[in-house]
Amino acid sequence: MSQELNSQISSLLLSVGSNHALNLESNLQELPMYTFEVEIGCIVQEFAKFLDQYPLLPGVILLEHGRYIGMISRRRLLEFLIRPYGQEIFFKESLRVIYSYARVEILLLPETTPILTAMQHSLQRSPELLAEPIVVQTADNTYKLLAIEALNFAAWQIQTIANQIRYESSQAKMIQNDKMANLGRLVDGVVHEILDPVSFIWGNLTYVTSYTQDLLKLINAYDQNLTHSSTEINTLKSEIEFDFLEQDLSSTLNSIRSGAERLKKLVTSLQNFCHIDEVHPKPVDLHACLDSTILLINTRIKGEIEIIKNYGNLPPVYCFMSQLNQVFINILSQTVNVLLNTSLSSNQYNSHSLNPQQKSRIEITTQVVSQPATNSHAPDSRWVSIRITDNGPGISPELQKRILESFSSEKMADKETSLGMSYRIITSKHGGKFHFRSQLNIGTDIEILLPLV
Residue 50 has pLDDT above 80, yes or no: no
β-partners of residue 366 are 386
Give the integer Cα–Cα distance in Å for 408 and 447.
Answer: 18
Least confident of 6-20, 148-162, 358-372, 429-443: 6-20
Residue 324 has pLDDT above 60, yes or no: yes
Q: Which residues lie below 8 Å from residue 323, measured CB to CB, with a gap of 6+?
A: 277, 425, 429, 430
* Predicted local distance difference test score (pLDDT) of residue 190: 72
Percent of the chain with pLDDT over 90: 11
pLDDT grade, residue 404 (50/70/90)? Answer: confident
Report, as an integer, the average pLDDT of 238-262. 84
Q: Which residues lie below 8 Å from residue 388, measured CB to CB, with a gap of 6+?
A: 331, 332, 335, 362, 363, 364, 445, 446, 447, 448
What are the tens digits of pLDDT across the range 203-230? 888 888 888 888 888 888 887 777 677 7
pLDDT grade, residue 364 (50/70/90)? Answer: very high
b/e sequence 294-316, b meaning 16+ C-beta within 10 Å: bbbbeeebeeebebeeeeeebee
pLDDT grade, residue 274 (50/70/90)? Answer: low
What are the tens digits of pLDDT across the range 325-348? 889 988 998 888 888 887 766 655
Mean pLDDT of the chain: 80
Counting beta carbons within 10 angstroms of the beta carbon of residue 223, is it exposed (0 to 12), middle (13 to 18) or buried (19 or more)? exposed
Short-list 396, 366, 364, 167, CA closest to 285:
366
Report, as an integer, the average pLDDT of 268-296. 77
DSSP label at residue 435: E
Give the integer Cα–Cα distance in Å for 367 and 217.
Answer: 52
Range among 16-25, 123-132, 200-209, 373-382 with highest mean pLDDT value:
123-132
Cα distances from 364 to residues 46, 290, 326, 442, 448, in angstroms, run: 77, 9, 16, 16, 11
Residue 385 has pLDDT above 90, yes or no: yes
- Please report which residue ranges of 353-433 form alpha helices under DSSP H: 397-406, 418-424
The long-range contacts involving 216-222, CB below 8 angstroms and separated by at least 24 positions, are 216/246, 216/249
What are the tens digits of pLDDT across the range 155-179? 898 888 888 887 877 777 777 666 6
b/e sequence 235-247, b meaning 16+ C-beta within 10 Å: eebeeeeeeeeee
Residue 351 has pLDDT above 50, yes or no: no
* Predicted local distance difference test score (pLDDT) of residue 368: 92
Give the integer Cα–Cα distance in Å for 91 and 76.
Answer: 14
CA 88 to chain centre: 63
Short-list 18, 33, 29, 14, CA closest to 146:
33
Cβ pair 184, 176 in contact under 8 A: no
Cβ pair 305, 337 in contact under 8 A: no
pLDDT grade, residue 362 (50/70/90)? Answer: very high
Residue 284 has pLDDT above 50, yes or no: yes
* Predicted local distance difference test score (pLDDT) of residue 18: 47
Residue 195 has pLDDT above 50, yes or no: yes
Residue 10 has pLDDT above 60, yes or no: no
Give the integer Cα–Cα distance in Å for 298 and 266.
Answer: 10
Residue 186 has pLDDT above 50, yes or no: yes
Q: Which residues lie below 8 Å from residue 254, measured CB to CB, with a gap of 6+?
A: none
Give the integer Cα–Cα distance in Å for 109 and 33.
Answer: 13
Least confident of 137-146, 296-305, 347-356: 347-356
Strand 143-146 to strand 108-110: parallel, antiparallel, or no bridges (unpaired)?
unpaired
Residue type, 211: Y
Report, as an integer, the average pLDDT of 38-62. 83
Counting beta carbons within 10 angstroms of the beta carbon of residue 269, is it exposed (0 to 12), middle (13 to 18) or buried (19 or more)? buried
Strand 360-371 to strand 305-310: parallel, antiparallel, or no bridges (unpaired)?
parallel
pLDDT grade, residue 97 (50/70/90)? Answer: confident
What are the tens digits of pLDDT across the range 407-420? 765 554 444 567 88
Range among 47-51, 238-242, 360-364, 449-453 with highest mean pLDDT value:
360-364
Cβ pair 286, 384 in contact under 8 A: yes
* Predicted local distance difference test score (pLDDT) of residue 388: 94
Counting beta carbons within 10 angstroms of the beta carbon of residue 9, is it exposed (0 to 12), middle (13 to 18) or buried (19 or more)? middle
Residue 182 has pLDDT above 70, yes or no: no
Percent of the chain with pLDDT over 70: 82
Give the integer Cα–Cα distance in Å for 451 and 453.
Answer: 6
Q: Which residues lie below 8 Å from residue 173, measured CB to CB, with a gap of 6+?
A: none
Q: Which residues lie below 8 Å from residue 249, measured CB to CB, with a gap of 6+?
A: 212, 216
* Predicted local distance difference test score (pLDDT) of residue 356: 46
First to last CA, the chain: 78
* Predicted local distance difference test score (pLDDT) of residue 184: 62
In the chain, % helix, strand, coil (3-state, to 5) comes to: 55, 20, 25
Phi/psi at 60 (5° precision): -145, 140
* Predicted local distance difference test score (pLDDT) of residue 365: 94
Report, as an integer, the average pLDDT of 98-103. 79
- Residue of 406 and 249 predicted with greater confidence: 249
Residue 375 has pLDDT above 70, yes or no: no
Phi/psi at 249 (5° precision): -65, -45
Residue 255 has pLDDT above 90, yes or no: no
3-state class (DSSP) for residue 284: strand
* Predicted local distance difference test score (pLDDT) of residue 14: 43
